[in-house]
Amino acid sequence: MRLDRRTLVKGGAAMGLAGSLDLVANARAWAQDAQWKPESGASLSLLRWKRFVPSEDDAFMKLVDAFTKATGVKISVSNESFDDIQPKASVAANTGQGPDMVWGLYSFPALFPAKCLEVGDVADYLGKKYGPWVPAAEAYGKAKGKWIAIPVAFNGGYINYRIAALTKAGFSKFPTDLPGFLECCRAMKKNNTPAGFALGHATGDANSWLHWLLWAHGGNLVDKDEKIVINSPETVAALEYCKQLYETFIPGTASWNDSSNNKAFLAGELYLTHNGISIYAAAKAEKPEIAADMDHALFPVGPVGKPTEFQLAFPILAYSYTKYPQACKAFMAYMMDAANYGPWLEAAQGYLTEPLDKYPANPVWTKDPKNAVFKEAARRSLAAGGLAPVSEKTAAVLADFVVVDMFAGFCTGREDAKTAIRSAERAAQRIFRNA
pLDDT tens digits along 233-244: 999 999 999 999
The model's pLDDT over 306-315, given as tens digits with 9 standing for 90+, comes to 999 999 899 9
Q: 192 Cβ partners below 8 Å, 6+ apart?
A: none
What is the amino acid identity at position 270? L
Report the run of H or E that residue 89 belongs to, with start and end.
Answer: helix 82-95
Cβ 395 vs Cβ 384: under 8 Å: yes
Pick the CATH number of 158-307+400-432 from 3.40.190.80, 3.40.50.10330, 1.10.1740.10, 3.40.190.10: 3.40.190.10
Cβ burial, residue 1 (10 Å; 0-12/13-18/19+): exposed
What is the pTM for the complete model shown?
Answer: 0.84
Summarize the confidence of residues 101-107 as an average pLDDT.
Answer: 94
**What is residue 1's predicted lDDT score, i.e. its pLDDT?**
32
User: What is the rounded distance in angstroms from the CA atom of residue 73 to the CA atom of residue 327?
Assistant: 7
**What is residue 21's predicted lDDT score, i.e. its pLDDT?**
55
Cβ 229 vs Cβ 206: under 8 Å: no
Summarize the confidence of residues 390-417 as an average pLDDT.
Answer: 94
pLDDT at 112 > cutoff 80: yes
The SS3 call for residue 26 is helix
Alpha carbon 252 to chain centroid distance? 23
User: Quick one: pLDDT band at residue 19, thresholds 50, 70, 90?
Assistant: very low
**What is residue 17's predicted lDDT score, i.e. its pLDDT?**
35
User: What is the rounded distance in angstroms from the CA atom of residue 67 to the CA atom of residue 241?
Assistant: 50
Peptide bond into 325 cis (omega under 30): no
Lowest mean pLDDT across 31-40, 78-87, 149-158, 338-347: 78-87
- The CATH architecture to which 38-156+311-380 belongs is 3-Layer(aba) Sandwich (3.40)
What is the amino acid identity at position 391? S
Q: What is the mean pLDDT of the chain?
A: 92
**What is residue 20's predicted lDDT score, i.e. its pLDDT?**
54
pLDDT at 35 > cutoff 50: yes
The model's pLDDT over 202-220, given as tens digits with 9 standing for 90+, comes to 988 999 999 999 999 999 9
pLDDT at 5 > cutoff 80: no
Lowest mean pLDDT across 6-10, 32-36, 358-362: 6-10
Cβ burial, residue 358 (10 Å; 0-12/13-18/19+): exposed
* CB atoms near residue 326 (< 10 Å): 16
User: Quick one: pLDDT band at residue 3, thresholds 50, 70, 90?
Assistant: very low
Summarize the confidence of residues 20-24 as an average pLDDT.
Answer: 75
**What is residue 2's predicted lDDT score, i.e. its pLDDT?**
32
**What is residue 433's predicted lDDT score, i.e. its pLDDT?**
83
Which among 48, 119, 50 has a CA at the least distance from the CA of 89?
48
User: Quick one: pLDDT band at residue 395, thresholds 50, 70, 90?
Assistant: confident
Residue that wins the pLDDT comparison between 21 and 397 = 397
User: What is the rounded distance in angstroms from the CA atom of residue 405 to the CA atom of residue 427?
Assistant: 10
User: What is the rounded distance in angstroms from the CA atom of residue 351 to the CA atom of residue 219?
Assistant: 29
3-state secondary structure string across 324-339: CHHHHHHHHHHHHCHH
Residue range(s) of every CATH 3.40.190.10 domain in the chain:
38-156+311-380, 158-307+400-432
**What is residue 82's predicted lDDT score, i.e. its pLDDT?**
85
The SS3 call for residue 433 is coil
The model's pLDDT over 219-232, given as tens digits with 9 standing for 90+, comes to 999 999 999 999 99
Cβ 375 vs Cβ 337: under 8 Å: no
pLDDT at 340 > cutoff 80: yes
pLDDT at 197 > cutoff 80: yes
**What is residue 434's predicted lDDT score, i.e. its pLDDT?**
58
**What is residue 392's predicted lDDT score, i.e. its pLDDT?**
85
